[in-house]
A and B are shown apart, each in its own frame.
Chain A
Amino acid sequence: DAKTTQPPSMDCAEGRAANLPCNHSTISGNEYVYWYRQIHSQGPQYIIHGLKNNETNEMASLIITEDRKSSTLILPHATLRDTAVYYCIVRVNRDDKIIFGKGTRLHILP
């Protein structure tokens, strides 16, 4: 079973920051937090991952709480092309088995 809990859907206005929350209260010390997204009819796309420090790349920022029990993915300036299902996943890095939950369906509103 997935070890994460996400809201089923969220709306965000185009141009605003989209903040997607994820709870992972049973995360182990050696498990990383990964985010993927899936745009309709395409394969999932890797976004970002982190262990305990906040991370930023060209796509997004990942904020992990100090106790690591939750995290937030931030898309700084959402566009219509960011409409997708976003998956938050915890996994150990020696293991390429990804257990997906139901994700959050993000709607970007024009």
Chain B
Amino acid sequence: KAGVTQTPRYLIKTRGQQVTLSCSPISGHRSVSWYQQTPGQGLQFLFEYFSETQRNKGNFPGRFSGRQFSNSRSEMNVSTLELGDSALYLCASSLGTGVTEAFFGQGTRLTVV
């Protein structure tokens, strides 16, 4: 079966711009989580969506937001980009109920210049 698909794979943006990243989960999975990975902070949880509702949220400023559609696809948006937002953004999908493992996509590498 197809894995988790993230688009685009690479992105370069300018400070102050906004960006939208997309994640298509594995078919049948209802939970989508987002993570930011930087060399300094490692892998950090951003938020999780389940059945179109945000179920969990990490400690990131309000510039980071997300949403989930009825087909479980998810997008995350970062507004007013800062240089420190340069990172690998990873999406993970899971069934979202009970004992389940999360499957990660390859990530979107965002560079802010």
What residues of chain A have their CB less than 8 Å away from a CB belonging to chain B?
Answer: 32, 34, 38, 42-46, 49, 87, 93-103
Contacts and interface: CB of A to CB of B under 8 A. Distances in A.
Interface residues of B, number: 27
Interface string B85-112: 0000010101010111111111100000
Contacts of A95: 56
Interface of B: 4, 31, 33, 35, 42-45, 48, 50, 55-56, 58, 90, 92, 94, 96, 98-107
- The 10 lowest CB-CB distance pairs between A and B, nearest first, are A43-B104, A100-B43, A46-B101, A97-B56, A93-B99, A96-B31, A44-B104, A96-B48, A43-B90, A43-B105
A45 B48 CA distance: 18
Contacts of A102: 42
